[in-house]
A and B are shown apart, each in its own frame.
Chain A
Amino acid sequence: MILAVTTVVALAGLWELYRLVWTSAGWTWPFVVNDTSMPHLWTIAKAFSQPAQVNQPSLAWILLQKSLFTAREAAFGFAIGAIVGFAIGLVLVHSRLLQRGFLPYIVMSQTIPILAVAPMVVVWVNPKLPAGFQGWGAVAVIAAYLTFFPVAINSLRGLQSADPRALELMRSYAGGRWHALWKVRVPTSLPYVFAAFKIAATASVVGAIIGELPSGLQSGLGGAIINFNQYYSIEPQELWATNIVAAALGVVFFLIVVAAEKLVVRRAPEHVG
């Protein structure tokens, strides 16, 4: 905790120091430092307390609501991606043939930019969704598209990493595939799965924000980013504020996974991390 606070203070100091040195020396490399390229931290902080547009609540309040909207998309996206990814791992670990057949396509799915996939997902998924899920539901699916991949790859790797003698042991107890899976393979895979969950947690937030762009949704952080982008040259502090909130949301997701891992995974200390 002390470390976290110290780091934040140090980074803030570095930001202002860099500004001070570059502006007073008049250096223009790698970019010109001014209030547009690097607004003062207090300008950004002040922006939170003021409305971005007249007759609106403060930016902090607006961003909180938008981040809750995005968080819901990301949370559902994470859940879908985690379940689908782990299921893919469970299926593939039992068949070398399926691994060879499917893994290349799973890898290929991630080489397609998410922005290119998003419009199709919106068109395909939205009409199928019940009323309460319209709009944001499709974005959750886009977020899931980003999150299932690390989970699938790491789950497969984790499920494969079972000690061969542990599997022999299960055979000696006349245990079948099911026993080997639930008593050995799945528990062995958990540290790998949680490593993937940590990647997926932040990816789900990024996926949700990006997914909002082609969906034309204004209620989330993605909408806010697009909006404040257009006014960056006039009021850069609002985009910076939004970025800070988006980053914080990613950190919250990450910390939830870390907490869940502490509860679920029991491992020798040297294996943790």
Chain B
Amino acid sequence: MSTAQQVVEIAGVTKTFAQGNVTALQDIDLELEQGEFVSLIGPSGCGKSTLLRVIGDLVEPTSGRVTINGKPAHQARLDRDYGIVFQDAVLFDWRTVAKNIALPLEMLGWDRAKRKARVDEMIELVELAGFENHHPWQLSGGMQQRVSIARALSFEPALLLMDEPFGALDEMTRERLNLELLSIWQQLRSTVVFVTHSISEAVFLSTRVVVMSPRPGRIAGIVPIDLPYPRTVVTREEPRFFELVTQVRELLRLRGEHLLPEEAAAATGETS
């Protein structure tokens, strides 16, 4: 069932939290191929962040299974198959920018010279040259998030998990970082799972947008994004961009307790 191309395979994942008897996720099936950029979008409480954590083996599913690179999610975590970025940069104040980026490398047991070489590469990649010895509080929110991305990519994981990474930034910084992220993704050809609240951000970045609905959290529909890469500032002004944004918005609007995923898909003419 899973081919070598598949990086993430989610099969029948359900997650219920004992506290409050909440079904955060119900019967989630999703497969990601190598090099895909998939956004999870949905209102608060639809379980998109929980799904991200299930993929990362940070939350255990109640039932179903997650396979990363052909192995169980737990093993994938132990093998450091993914890097993760949160909404807040979660940088360590007591470490400089360079040492924050080097943190996972230290845990991998890399020696000093090897760490330094890789950190220099990552600094170059996220365009933070000159800030290596700054402490996190001396950086703007956008720069902090770039450090966080560099840290997540430092050990070259096949998969990048991002939990609303630009949600706390102003719109202009956010759009600039969207472009930077796309360029990084295209250089590294990694696979990305990206949780967001922003429809335009999801459409702009992704190869596919997964729309989720709440209570219980499930997939309401999947919108393939056929905008060509490389995407630029102009992409946001193309008619096709607006059509796709509308499609995702319709799916989000139609979501409701009474609506089944198949009905939602039918309503917008897309299949999941």
Interface residues of A (CB under 8 A from B): 163, 165-166, 168-175, 179, 183-184, 187, 190, 265-271
Contacts and interface: CB of A to CB of B under 8 A. Distances in A.
Interface string B61-95: 00000000000000001111011101010101111
B229 interface: no
A235 B78 CA distance: 74
Interface string B120-136: 00000000000000011
A266 B78 contact: no
B188 to A, nearest CB: 18
Contacts of B84: 168-169, 172
Contact of A165 (B83, B86, B106, B136): B86
Contacts of A165: 86, 88, 90
Given A266-B135, A268-B93, A174 B86 contact: no
- Identify the 8 closest CB pairs spanning chains A and B, nearest first: A268-B137, A266-B94, A174-B78, A172-B84, A187-B94, A173-B107, A173-B104, A165-B90
Candidate in B94, B135, B137 with the most chain A CB atoms within 10 angstroms: B94
Contacts, number: 58
Interface of B: 53, 56, 58, 77-80, 82-84, 86, 88, 90, 92-95, 103-104, 106-108, 135-137
B82 A172 contact: yes
A117 to B, nearest CB: 37
A163 B90 contact: yes
A166 B58 contact: no
B83 A172 contact: yes
A174 B79 CA distance: 7
A173 B82 CA distance: 8
A265 B84 CA distance: 27
A184 B103 CA distance: 11
Nearest to A187: B94
A270 B136 CA distance: 13
B93 A266 contact: yes
19 contacts: A163-B90, A165-B88, A168-B58, A169-B86, A172-B84, A174-B78, A179-B107, A183-B92, A183-B103, A183-B106, A184-B92, A187-B94, A190-B94, A265-B94, A266-B93, A266-B95, A267-B137, A270-B137, A271-B93
